[in-house]
């Protein structure tokens, strides 16, 4: 864009939306501290607790993943839960495919509920200026669009894999040891070692990671290790709840998340580098590049010309217009990915809806959020969450599974079309 003088360097820097990058960065930092506090370990235990078989386990994966993705982003949940779900399935002699499909599809559906559920929703929340509560209520009318979509997706999985999901109620002794290892973030081979390891000097090496406290705060160091861990875990949960409450009362989302992240870093009393290393800086660079690319593309006038042609057939005040608009969003989200689609179409769709009514503007933004997110379930390439599940499963140290493009699309196409169609009439009713 800059080399061919479509956009100037100054305009390129100006097109990068720093509040969105700040919110995305801070959300990943908070997610890392919640992971260290055991949040996702508890979610994993909830999946395995008194499981009544493969079908029951599949339903739990769908429900827990969808709800967790609404608060902790779909990508984060997929990174943390993929290997755990593989262990659950393998230890019950159940096929991995339906559980991986359940994890990826439910993460996408659940993330559509809140502005912090996925990257494209962050863009929509900032550009539309829709408050957090109104965004949540718009996607969760009565009956709830997200819950209905999740239920339909779950029923489709059960229907397609009913026979394969029979059995799997009991967990072997070895399986329990492997699950405990997965919960603690260790490999099963380490979990099975009962005797201490010796280094070259004959000293015993602890199997647990040391706290590596570099700032020896007097009060903090006087506490026992158990009390320190309890304090840090409790603080992480409390400030995260405070962050969500701040969202609900309408405070600035970006500064709220950044403040929460800073509070966690400061009160942790340890070097923040391990936590900061978990941030996906490539995602931040990708967003910066997308802001510049979309800004330059818009200056060519081509997106505006295409939309001018489609706008008369895509009005949100008619069933036919909503259907055409949804098809456009669904196709573009799979061809160009959902984030570029939102960046390209958001303002144009809102301008067209403004000619109808203020309520139509809100509904158009929420419709864009719902369809662009659920569209990610259509193919393996439609969502970053899908690719994360696929890659994590393929690289898993135990029970690795290669989820192919065609395996995903056989379920993804009907699920996406049905869930999208069911959710559209429910969006923005309140």
The per-residue pLDDT for 37 is 81
Check: CB of residue 44 under 8 Å from CB of residue 86. no
Task: State pLDDT tens for residues 24-35.
Answer: 788 788 878 887
Check: CB of residue 424 under 8 Å from CB of residue 371. yes
The structure tokens 């492997």 sit at: 178
Q: Element (H or E) spanning 320, and its range?
A: helix 319-335
In the predicted model, what is the mean pLDDT of residues 88-94? 86
- Kindly state the percentage of the chain with pLDDT values over 90: 15
The per-residue pLDDT for 13 is 92
Q: Above 60 in pLDDT, residue 430? A: no
Q: Above 80 in pLDDT, residue 215? A: no
Task: State pLDDT tens for residues 234-251.
Answer: 888 899 888 888 877 778
Higher pLDDT, 375 or 171: 375
DSSP letter for each residue of 91-154: HTT--HHHHHHHHHHHHHHHHTTSTTSSHHHHHHHHHH---HHHHHHHHS-SS-HHHHHHHHHH
- pTM of the full predicted structure? 0.71
């Amino acid at each position: 864009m800059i080399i061919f003088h479509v956009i100037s360097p100054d305009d390129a820097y100006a097109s990068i939306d720093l509040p969105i990058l700040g919110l995305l960065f801070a959300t990943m930092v908070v997610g890392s501290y919640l992971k260290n506090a055991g949040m996702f370990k508890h979610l994993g235990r909830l999946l395995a607790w008194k499981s009544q078989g493969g079908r029951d386990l599949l339903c739990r994966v769908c429900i827990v993943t969808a709800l967790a993705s609404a608060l902790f982003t779909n990508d984060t949940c997929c990174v943390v839960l993929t290997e755990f779900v593989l262990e659950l399935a393998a230890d019950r002699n159940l096929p991995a495919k339906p559980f991986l499909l359940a994890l990826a599809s439910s993460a996408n559906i659940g993330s559509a509920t809140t502005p912090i559920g996925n990257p494209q929703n962050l863009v929509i929340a900032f550009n539309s200026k829709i408050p957090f509560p109104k965004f949540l209520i718009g996607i969760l009318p009565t009956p709830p669009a997200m819950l209905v979509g999740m239920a339909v997706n779950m029923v489709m999985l059960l229907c397609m894999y009913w026979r394969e999901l029979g059995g799997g109620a009991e967990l072997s002794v070895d399986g329990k040891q492997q699950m405990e290892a997965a919960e603690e973030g260790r490999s099963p081979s380490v979990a099975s070692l009962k005797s201490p390891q010796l280094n070259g000097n004959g000293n015993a090496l602890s199997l647990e990671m040391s706290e590596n406290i570099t700032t020896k705060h007097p009060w903090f160091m006087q506490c026992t290790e158990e009390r320190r861990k309890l304090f840090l875990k409790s603080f992480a949960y409390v400030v995260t709840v405070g962050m969500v409450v701040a969202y609900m009362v309408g405070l600035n989302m970006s500064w709220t998340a950044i403040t929460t992240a800073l509070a966690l870093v400061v009160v942790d009393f340890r070097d923040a580098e391990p936590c900061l290393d978990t941030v996906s800086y490539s995602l931040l660079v990708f967003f910066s590049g997308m802001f510049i690319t979309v800004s330059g593309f818009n200056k060519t006038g081509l997106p505006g010309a295409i939309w001018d042609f489609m706008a008369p057939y895509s009005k949100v005040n008619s069933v036919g217009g909503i259907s055409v608009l949804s098809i456009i969003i669904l196709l573009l989200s799979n061809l160009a990915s959902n984030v570029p689609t939102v960046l390209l179409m958001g303002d144009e769709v809102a301008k067209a809806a403004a000619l109808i009514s203020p309520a139509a503007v809100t509904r158009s933004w929420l419709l864009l959020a719902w369809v662009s997110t659920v569209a990610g379930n259509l193919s393996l390439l439609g969502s970053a969450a899908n690719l994360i599940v696929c890659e994590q499963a393929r690289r898993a140290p135990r029970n690795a599974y290669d989820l192919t493009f065609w395996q995903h699309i056989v379920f993804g196409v009907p699920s996406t079309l049905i869930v999208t169609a069911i959710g559209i009439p429910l969006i923005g009713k309140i």
